[in-house]
Amino acid sequence: MSGSMFDETLRALRQLEGRTQLSIPIEYDEDGYLDRECPADECLFQFKVLADDWKDKVRDEEVFCPSCGHTAESGSWMTQEQVEHVRKAALSHVSGQLGKAMARDAAQWNRRQPKGGLISMMMKVNQRPTQVLLPPAAAEPMQLKITCPVCECRYAVVGAAFFCPSCGHNAADQQFSQSVTGIIQSLDAIGAVRAAIPDRDTAENTVRLLVENGLQNAVTAFQRYAEALYVSLPTASPARRNAFQNLAEGSGLWSAATNKAYADHLSATELAALQRAFQQRHLLAHTQGIVDAGYLQKSSDTRYQPGQRIVVREDGVRETVALVSKLADALLADASAARQP
């Protein structure tokens, strides 16, 4: 309203109301990759896409999570850190605009006050400087860079990935090999991770998560690879979803289709070690690592009681990687033989 003490503030509010668009840049890493995060609550997998390819190759309508295959439109893939950065930048902009308007109102009010009277009123706005926010710090460079053989989109992950974020292509043989490489590289970096984090508790917790993720990625990489090989077999019968997460069930399906079971390729000791790893992955994925009766029965692991939490060690993950790699090579030979006329 005209002549009001708060004309400038009200005008600023009307300008901001529903019509303000802000351009808030998101920083790339030093190699030109953009941080992305799967929007599926059960996944939240973080990865990177080369910024040029995110702009030129990735479609607005559909982006694929490299880990779980979840799809969503391109605006849904900001990381939680980026979302927080945008929120703070928007609040900073709004508070800055309102602060300036209130300062102008105060100046106009002060100019209208009579001078020389017995009572003098002055208005002062304690305006803080508008905060200039830096973009969130880029995550550590991803250790495994991948180029999709179909659309040539370039992306990067830590550990295992299975789907191209641009086209969704899953090249099972390439992805398995790259996933194994990524897991080993992550384990090799444990010393550097410990050295880079000053707080000892934080460092050890980070290392624990790194090792546990390595185990889960190794089992999942084998599962996806076995699934892809299985559907290529001429006599393969339909399999339930995630059948190859179960070592015994996967071996049964494979034997029915190729006349070769997992036991034809791994010793009893190796199969027992792999069974423990598969069951530990199940606990990490579904019970946060807490041991239950099902784990004790299926793993034959006598080190734990129900209610305890499993301890996954680096050497155990390396052993699991070696075993799934050995079995994967054997399955590839089985599949090649089965396709022969």
Residues paired with 64 in a beta bridge: 71
Residue whose entry in the numeric block shows the structure tokens 């850190």 = 81
- Is residue 219 within 8 A of residue 281, CB to CB? The reply is yes
- Is residue 281 within 8 A of residue 220, CB to CB? The reply is yes
Give the per-residue pLDDT at 68. Answer: 84
- Is residue 62 within 8 A of residue 164, CB to CB? The reply is no
Single out the residue of 51, 46, 44 nearest to residue 27, CA to CA.
51
End-to-end alpha carbon distance in the chain:
88
Give the per-residue pLDDT at 98. Answer: 55
* Inter-CA distances, 242 with 186, 239, 247, Å: 25, 8, 11
Domain boundaries of the chain, sorted by first residue:
171-338
3-state secondary structure of 252: helix
Give the per-residue pLDDT at 268. Answer: 97
* Inter-CA distances, 200 with 68, 140, 191, 195, 315, Å: 32, 19, 13, 9, 21
* Inter-CA distances, 183 with 70, 107, 142, Å: 22, 63, 12
In the chain, the amino acid numbered 254 is W
Low-confidence residues in the chain, pLDDT < 70: 1-25, 83, 85-143, 159
- Is residue 209 within 8 A of residue 189, CB to CB? The reply is no
Q: Which residues make Cβ contacts (< 8 Å) with residue 70, sequence separation at least 6?
A: 38, 39, 40, 43, 64
pLDDT digits (tens, 9 = 90+) for 261-302: 999 999 999 999 999 999 999 999 999 999 999 999 999 999
pTM: 0.66
Angle at 248 between CA 243 and CA 250, to 5 degrees: 40
Torsion of CA 279, 211, 177, 35, to 10 degrees: 120
- Is residue 150 within 8 A of residue 167, CB to CB? The reply is yes
3-state secondary structure of 104: helix
Give the per-residue pLDDT at 124. Answer: 45
**Strand segments (E) across the chain:** 33-37, 46-50, 63-64, 71-72, 144-147, 154-157
Single out the residue of 139, 165, 28 nearest to residue 80, CA to CA.
139
- Is residue 51 within 8 A of residue 28, CB to CB? The reply is yes
What's phi and psi for 4, nearest 5 deg?
-70, 150
Rounded Cα gap, residues 79 and 241, in angstroms: 29
Rounded Cα gap, residues 157 and 165, in angstroms: 11
Torsion of CA 190, 194, 197, 201, to 10 degrees: 110
- Is residue 71 within 8 A of residue 167, CB to CB? The reply is no
What's phi and psi for 283, nearest 5 deg?
-65, -45
Rounded Cα gap, residues 263 and 258, in angstroms: 13
